[in-house]
Structure 1
Amino acid sequence: MLTVLRVDASARNERSLSRKLADKYIDALCRACPDADIVTRDVGSRPPPFVTEAWIAAAFKAPEDRSPHEQAVLEVSDQLIAEVKSADLIVVASPLYNYGMPATLKAWVDQIVRVGKTFDFDLARGDFPIEPMLSGKKLVVLTSSGEFGFAPGGIRQNQDHLTSHLQTVAKYIGAESVDVIRIEYQEFGDERHETSKNAAFQMAEAQGRKLGQLQAAA
């Protein structure tokens, strides 16, 4: 059975294009693969806590040495990591806020990229001491932006710090491939925005359906 973790990061609800894009993707997937298990984590509406000094102290301590309070500090992180571990597909739906990810999504990333849980650290590896502990997953990023040209080759290709950040940390959540679908021109509200939106919805439906069909046939 395919297990999908859907992470919504938009502060908007009904008016959110990234949420609608995720709806389109997930609906198409589920029509093709009705047995898919969908787990939803809405960090936009229910943000995870930010990392604190107490969190860091607990995370870098051996589990058997943690106090009950330190174990409690890591409870949310443990739950979020368990969701990531159980997922075959992670779908992140997020707007581009000020050229980066919403703070609530960054809080989620910081809770799940954790030593001893999703990566280990060994100085014997030299300049690359961090090694991912998870593998075999796929990450799909569904995003919307007010401006345009953020895709590779676009006029703002170096200004999208949302997808570049997620592509960098993808390996630490076990993602071996990353697909990105974008809606752009939202601030302009003209035909370019409608064209971009329609193309993104079509792509989301097609990719969701294809993945569902592949899973159903497996």
Structure 2
Amino acid sequence: MSRVLIIESSARQQDSVSRQLTQTFISQWKAAHPNDQITVRDLAVKPVPHLDINLLGGWMKPAEQRSDIEQASLERSNQLTDELLAADVLVMAAPMYNFAIPSTLKAWLDHVLRAGVTFKYTETGPQGLLTGKRAYVLTARGGIYAGSTADHQEPYLRQVMGFIGIHDVTFIHAEGMNLGGDFQEKGLNQANARLAQVA
């Protein structure tokens, strides 16, 4: 049995393309792996706080010096990190907002990219500690950006995943969602065709 962690980040609900892709992924994954455990964390419904002084204090201070707020911030970060550590497969559903990712997803990443936990510093440079995991990134984009200099989403997430040791990363883009007509249909069809190959 594998554990699958799904991170939703679209602010939209029923009309969200990235959420549609997630539901397709879940349906196909369950059919292929009925015994796997799937956990969904929805950052739009239940956002995690952005990095602040309380979380920094929770990370850096010994337990006896932490305030109650710092301790609570640390425990929240620990919960998010533990979910990631326990997962064999990570799925991030990420619409493109202003050429990059939603701030809610960035906040989640700030909680789980932790020195000594998901990566460590060595004499030869940082070393990721989450080797052996797979990641899938399901994106929805208003225009067509793959391979262009305007795409600050895929390069960033590849860098972040590699930094913590996840190098097996598959991106599935639904592009042209705001272009209408044939562009939208083609983008969805291509994304769904890629999804059909995943499970």
Query: What's the TM-score bracket when you normalise by the shorter of the two chains?
Result: over 0.9
Please give the alpha-carbon distance, in whole angstroms, between the structure 2 residues aligned to 1:199 and 1:11.
Answer: 23
Q: Which range is displaced more, 132-141 or 92-101?
A: 132-141
| 1:60-97 CA distance string (max 9 Å, x none) | 335x5553523222111101101100101100011000
TM-superposition CA deviations, 1:19-74 (whole Å, max 9, x none): 11111112111101100100101012211011112211321335x55535232221
CA pair 182-37 structure 1, distance change in 2 beyond 3 A: same
Q: What code does the residue aligned with 1:151 have?
A: A
Q: 1:67 to 1:60 in 2, by over 3 A?
A: closer
1:140 and 2:139 equivalent? no
CA shift in 2, pair 1:178/1:202, >3 Å: same
Pairing of 1:62-211 with structure 2 (within 5 A) = 62=62, 64=63, 66-67=65-66, 69=68, 70-122=70-122, 124-125=123-124, 128=125, 130-148=126-144, 150-152=145-147, 157-208=148-199
The residue aligned with 2:57 is: 57
1: CA distance between counterparts of 2:113 and 2:84?
A: 10
- Report percent identity of matched pairs: 34
- For residue 85 of structure 2, give the secondary structure of its aligned residue in structure 1: helix
Structure 2: gaps of 5 or more residues? none
Q: Would you identify which runs of 4 or more consecutive aligned residues in structure 1 move more than 3 Å?
A: none
* Whole-Å separation in 1 of the counterparts to 2:64 and 2:162: 28
Q: 2:9, 2:93 within 8 Å by CA — same for their partners in 1?
A: yes
CA RMSD of aligned residues (A): 1.6
Deviates more, 1:191-200 or 1:81-90: 191-200
Between 1:46-55 and 1:1-10, the stretch displaced more is 46-55
Q: Is the 8 A contact 1:28 1:206 kept in 2?
A: no
Q: Which runs of 5+ in 1 are unaligned?
A: 209-218
Give the C-alpha shift of residue 158 in structure 1: 1.8
Which residue in 1 is equivalent to 2:37? Answer: 37
Partner of 2:21: 21
Q: Which gives a bigger RCO, structure 1 or 2 (Cα 8 Å, sep 6+)?
A: 1
Tell me if the contact between 2:57 and 2:66 (Cα under 8 Å) persists in the aligned partners. Answer: no
Aligned residues: 198
SS at 2:171 equivalent: strand
> 3-state DSSP class of the match of 1:105?
helix
SS in 1 for 2:22: helix
Contact 1:58 1:66 in 2 (8 A): no
Deviates more, 1:39-48 or 1:172-181: 172-181
Distance change (3 Å), C-alpha of 1:85 and 1:195:
same
Task: Kindly indicate whether residue 3 of structure 2 is the aligned counterpart of residue 3 of structure 1.
Answer: yes
Amino acid in the other structure paired with 2:78: D
Q: Which moved more, 1:130-139 or 1:16-25?
A: 130-139
CA distance in 2, matches of 1:77, 1:4: 19
The CA distance in 1 between the partners of 2:33 and 2:65, in whole Å, is: 42
**Native 8 Å contact 1:135 1:174 kept in 2:** yes
Q: Distance in 2 between matches of 1:68 and 1:38?
A: 34
